[in-house]
Structure 1
Amino acid sequence: MYHTWMRYFTPSPAHHRLGLVCLGVGLQHGTLPTVGPRTLDHYVAVVIGAGSGWFRGADGHDVPVTAPALIWLTPGVPHHYGPDPATGWDESFVDFAGPAAATYTELGYIEPDRPVVPLSDTVGARAAVGRIARAARRGNPLLEVETAAAVHELLVALRRARADVAPDGDPVLDALARDAFEPLSVAEHAARHGMTPAELRTAVRRGAGCSPKDYLLGIRLGRAKELLAATELPVAAVARRVGYDDPAYFSRLFTRRVGIAPIRFREQQARTVPGGWSDRIPDPEHPPMIAGPAT
């Protein structure tokens, strides 16, 4: 005995240019029939919230699935799966496609080589699936855009819920972020954390989908933009505060990555207001709060 609810959509070519589109959504539970063997031309995220079962991929080997877990179905890869007939399982699924899927794969959010992913919980994922299900009402004029936005949200929720990522975040990434503004090389960062550069690269690639250098650069440039926009610090002082002793090198790096020079960025984004607080360096951990209207 099982229960199932599903909807399927046909987004237009214009909607595909959003990067991701939702092709379908379903909620099922009970002793569901097995799926496959089959091969799809798009992606499916199958979220198992309760129960257990099995998955068989292209290699023909069965992999046990125990909730909470995620099953990735990727284009062109044969698969076959189902719940334990004695217990069944609770699943939700989202079919999606689009050019952004390749980028999400490159960043490690979609893992074709690891089709069964243990999760710490399914709360965030089920919330995203719920948004898709609510948007699926008949006659919703915003259907394709709402569901596309929720697919992005789902991928982030699934990445955050991976069981190999601590609920408070990745300790290696947290440590790198704390030390990001110190003038250290990648090798020096690795040594500080008792790792080889190769081990650090692997950890950061798995946690953030990029190299340590790019991860640190993103943090440094983000902070530099804040200082350029919200203070009157000279560019050389901004460079030193984000870890660059050579302001000329910082300016070249900023220009290459951002697309405009630091001075030009400041001209576009400056928020200096007489009598305001912009002469102080903003603290990202404690931003100023705007008071609500008096009651």
Structure 2
Amino acid sequence: MYHTWMRYFTPGPVHHRLGLVCLGVGLQHGALPTVGPRTLDHHVAVVIGAGRGWYRTPDGERTEIIAPALIWLVPGVPHHYGPDPGGWDESFVDFTGSATATYTELGYIETERTVVPLSDTAGPRAAVGRIARAARRGNPLLEVETAAAVHELLVALRRARADTNPAGDPVLTALARDAFLPLSVAEHAARNRMTPAELRAAVRRGAGCSPKDYLLSLRLGRAKELLAATELPVAAVARRVGYEDPAYFSRLFTRRVGTAPIRFRRQQGRAVPGGWSDRVPHPEHPPTIPTAST
């Protein structure tokens, strides 16, 4: 015996322009029937919360599945899987859209590993639960709510991977700690006892981009905060985020942000006399916003 609940959706063309849409959601448990062999034209994330089973590749290779685990079903690739006789606890989300290519490039959707061990399923199941609740009949926000939850699901699945350190990726943590020092990528690699190639591979695996792009994102984010909330000269902002040459910083900022630092400050500046704070809080220690007593 098994129990199953599922809903399927048909988002319209305007919803597909969101870049990611949900096509279906299901919650099942027990001795479920075998799936496949079959081939789909969209993605499915199958989250196994309890139990065990198997996955068979098109060439006949069998992979054991032990919960908690994720099964990635990708378009155009035949798949065949099912639980052992004791059954399992499964939830699934069907989705598609142009954003799947970017999520794949960033490593959130895996194409090299069909079966991915998870550390736990609390985060992914919470996202699936939001989709299931949004799936009620007559919900006017159905397509947008479920699309937003698919984005959340992909992030939760990435965070729940068993090969992800719950305390954070140590390489990314080290880069973030040293991001504002005037160091080259090679020097960052040496500080982490890695070769530049090893650092590039680690950052690509953890953040889906190159070390240079990862550091640039951190530096420009901090530069924006300093420009918006202080009256520091642009040259001082540049030095604070690791650039000794203010002209190079300005060119880099303009190219990446789309506007010059001075213009960004005019647009976003918050340095207003009488404000509740006279300094920029440390990024790791944001201020506490007071709330009205009840």
**TM class by shorter-chain length?**
over 0.9
CA distance in 1, matches of 2:57, 2:254: 46
Check if 1:65 corresponds to 2:65.
yes
Equivalent residue letter for 1:78: P
CA distance in 2, matches of 1:199, 1:154: 29
Give secondary structure in 2 for the equivalent of 1:84.
Answer: strand
Where do residues 21-170 of structure 1 align in structure 2 (5 Å cutoff)? 21-85=21-85, 87-170=86-169
Give secondary structure in 2 for the equivalent of 1:175.
Answer: helix
Deviations 1:207-249 (A, max 9, x none): 1010111111100000000000000000000000000000000
Aligned to 1:255: 254
Aligned to 2:20: 20
Aligned to 2:178: 179
Residue 282 of structure 1: how far off its partner (Å):
2.5
Check if 1:193 corresponds to 2:192.
yes
Equivalent residue letter for 1:224: A
CA distance in 2, matches of 1:281, 1:48: 44
TM-score normalised by L of structure 1:
0.98
CA distance in 1, matches of 2:276, 2:260: 25
CA distance in 2, matches of 1:219, 1:174: 12
Equivalent residue letter for 1:152: H
TM-score normalised by L of structure 2:
0.98
CA distance in 1, matches of 2:211, 2:287: 30
Where do residues 260-279 of structure 1 align in structure 2 (5 Å cutoff)? 260-276=259-275, 279=278
CA distance in 2, matches of 1:58, 1:249: 52
Moved runs in structure 1, 4+ residues, more than 6 A? none
Equivalent residue letter for 1:31: A
CA contact (8 A) 1:55 1:65 kept: yes
CA distance in 2, matches of 1:179, 1:60: 47
Runs (5+) with no aligned partner, structure 2: none
CA distance in 2, matches of 1:203, 1:8: 38
Give secondary structure in 2 for the equivalent of 1:23.
Answer: strand
**Identity of counterpart residues, as a percentage?**
84
Where do residues 233-252 of structure 1 align in structure 2 (5 Å cutoff)? 233-252=232-251
Equivalent residue letter for 1:269: Q
Higher mean displacement: 16-25 or 53-62: 53-62
Runs (5+) with no aligned partner, structure 1: none
Aligned residues: 294
Equivalent residue letter for 1:19: G
CA distance in 1, matches of 2:70, 2:225: 38
Deviations 1:159-189 (A, max 9, x none): 0000000111111101110000011111111
Pairwise CA RMSD of aligned residues? Answer: 0.9
Aligned to 2:225: 226
Residue 279 of structure 1: how far off its partner (Å):
4.2
Residue 60 of structure 1: how far off its partner (Å):
2.5
Residue 118 of structure 1: how far off its partner (Å):
0.5
Residue 278 of structure 1: how far off its partner (Å):
5.4
Aligned to 2:8: 8
Higher mean displacement: 128-137 or 282-291: 282-291
Residue 277 of structure 1: how far off its partner (Å):
5.1
CA distance in 2, matches of 1:59, 1:173: 37
CA distance in 2, matches of 1:160, 1:287: 23
Higher mean displacement: 164-173 or 52-61: 52-61
CA distance in 2, matches of 1:69, 1:137: 27
CA contact (8 A) 1:271 1:278 kept: no
CA distance in 2, matches of 1:181, 1:18: 35
CA distance in 1, matches of 2:28, 2:281: 48
CA distance in 2, matches of 1:160, 1:140: 30
CA distance in 1, matches of 2:114, 2:238: 43
